[in-house]
A = this chain, B = another copy of it.
């Protein structure tokens, strides 16, 4: 029914919350009815920019008072799990920004609650928003490999490399971010699980890193550049790189090397279609941040999540795989800090 519109609320109106609010407002089958944030200036922004959207100081109050069908959780990571759980309890559909939690136990508790809720609300959708899964280029790469044109994927290489932030913000932020592998590499880990298969078991992993430009990170056991290798059962290996030190822009790249060909995504970053020739040579500018490159993927995410809810279709990402991504991120961070290679037994437990 094209005429039926999904009644959506946005939790959190920070940087990502504003973007989700704008994207869902432009999603044809959606009515954004409410938004909540404890920040007064964000509520003022909503009053000016989100027409017909009621704003709340308190998330729970919003859930109680509004007649909602779905919630987009885009608040600070620390409350992702709690807000998602409360929406699950009310039988609402949830799109939660990544990660569910930087704590694997808490993340798993959300999945458990969802699985339980499904018994009474079999059509309820809960998904963690790994935006690159909605990017046209990643999808084309996945589809081509799935078609079998390039044989089996063997080596997965991926990086998330952010523009250097020289404001000092990042060192403070890192204290609660879960570490560079949970914060930066979580997308690469999610893609790795997608391309290699979410059920494929990890045999071992290890990581090394350095705090080259933000020495203050050492205090919170974090780094600004790190490298990892991961070994899977069945002859598949992966290499990850994460960095907070790029000079030119955001450089997120992925390469999937198969037995008969390889697919490369984003290897030649470019902000747009301009090339400048001057006395410096020939140059292009790069995207400066994640959203500049992946904005369209978020729009697609909003469209497809809406369709899943309204048409009762399975979500493209399972909630369990999002917990697995956090698990891998945490294990990499542990290896990074301890210097130990982690070897897993058949139950997926570190030996």
- Asked whether, in the complex, the Cβ of A341 is within 8 Å of the Cβ of B206, the reply is yes
Given A245-B259, A275-B267, A277-B261, verify A229-B228 contact (CB < 8 Å).
Answer: yes
Is A26 engaged at the interface, CB distance under 8 Å to the other chain?
yes
A229 to B273, CA, bound (A): 25
Query: Does the CB pair A239–B241 fall under 8 Å?
Result: yes
A26 CB contacts on chain B under 8 angstroms: 26, 28
Distance (whole angstroms) from the CB of A2 to the closest CB of chain B: 6
Name the residue of chain B whose CB is nearest to the CB of A276: B263
Report the minimum CB–CB distance from A202 to chain B (whole Å). Answer: 11
Q: Are A237 and B247 in contact (CB under 8 A)?
A: no
The A120-164 residues at the B interface (CB cut-off 8 A) are 135-137, 140-141, 144, 149-150, 152, 154-155, 157
- Beyond A265-B273, A272-B140, whether A241 also contacts B210 by CB under 8 A is no
Q: A51-B2, A273-B266, A283-B280 are in contact. Are A237 and B261 (CB under 8 A)?
A: no
A20-36 CB mask vs B (1 if < 8 Å, else 0) is 00000110100000000
Say whether B209 contacts A259, CB under 8 Å.
Answer: no
Q: How far is the CA of A225 from the CA of B340 in the complex (A)?
A: 23
Is residue A248 within 8 Å, beta carbon to beta carbon, of the partner chain? yes
Q: Are A210 and B225 in contact (CB under 8 A)?
A: no
- How many whole Å from A315's CB to the nearest CB in chain B? 23
Say whether A347 faces chain B, with CB atoms less than 8 Å apart. Answer: no
Contact A235 B212 (CB under 8 A): yes
Does B208 contact A229, Cβ atoms closer than 8 Å?
yes
| Contact status A282-B259, CB under 8 Å | no
A50-103 CB contacts (< 8 Å) to partner B: 51
Interface residues of A (CB under 8 A from B): 2-3, 25-26, 28, 48-49, 51, 135-137, 140-141, 144, 149-150, 152, 154-155, 157, 204, 206-213, 225-231, 235-239, 241, 243, 245-249, 251, 257, 259-286, 339-341, 343
